[in-house]
Chain A
């Protein structure tokens, strides 16, 4: 019935890390999306990027799916992690590293430390 919901469920269960964002990981179209994509890119995380600007049904559907009103939205192993503010906080506190480790997601530890050093 609800194809957008099915499509989103399919996307977050078949990819370890998914970022719903405005624009693409190579060309973000919004500062908040750009910040999260930048962190994942810098940390060398393999992730699927879904450009919500390319599909109005996904753009609305992801807000309902996550019960979260804003973009970007990060999913790890099918679980909603948060938006830009939460991901930023978790990056700086080291919680994002811990989450990736717990979920078996590969990332560059040294790069994560560099982000923290630069924002200390």
Chain B
């Protein structure tokens, strides 16, 4: 059921090609992840809209009880 950091990044990258993406394995168990996504396309969106966009990119992995991505702490930012 575990997922790899590269896989998470690839999925986010597909939707946000120019983003700065940092993936952290919070517990070292491949189950609890943190992702920080910094992307220009977030400008003009509120946090809910920004995070919805990232969740949409990860949809297949987060779907229901079969989702491999059990826990993801998400931070979205606009570049300085």
- Count class of interface residues, chain A: 10 to 19
Query: Would you call A85 and B75 a contact (CB within 8 A)?
Result: yes
Within 8 A of B (CB), among A82-100: 82-86, 89-90
Is B73 interfacial (CB-CB < 8 Å)? yes
Question: How far is B72's CA from A43's CA once the two chains are assembled, in angstroms?
Answer: 25
| Contact call B73/A85, Cβ cutoff below 8 A | yes
- Are B73 and A84 interface neighbours, CB within 8 A? yes
Restricting to B29-71, which residues have a CB under 8 Å from any CB of A?
Answer: 47-48, 51-52, 55, 59, 62-64, 71
A84 to B73, CA, bound (A): 8
Measured CA separation A81–B48 after assembly (Å): 7
Are the C-beta atoms of A82 and B55 separated by less than 8 Å?
Answer: no
Q: Which of B52, B63, B71, B73 contacts A68 (CB 8 A)?
A: B52
Give the most central of A82, A86, A89, A90: most B CB within 10 Å.
Answer: A86
- Which residues of chain A from 31 to 78 have any CB-CB distance to chain B below 8 Å in the complex? 32, 60, 67-70
> A107 interface residue, CB < 8 Å from B?
no
Residues from chain A with Cβ under 8 Å of B72 in the complex = 70
Q: Return chain B residues, CB-CB under 8 Å to A60.
A: 64
Q: A85 contacts B48, CB within 8 Å?
A: no
Q: Is the CB of B59 within 8 A of A69?
A: yes
Distance to closest chain A CB from B53 (angstroms): 11
| B positions within 8 Å CB-CB of A | 47-48, 51-52, 55, 59, 62-64, 71-75
Residues in chain A within 8 A of chain B (CB atoms)? 32, 60, 67-70, 80-86, 89-90
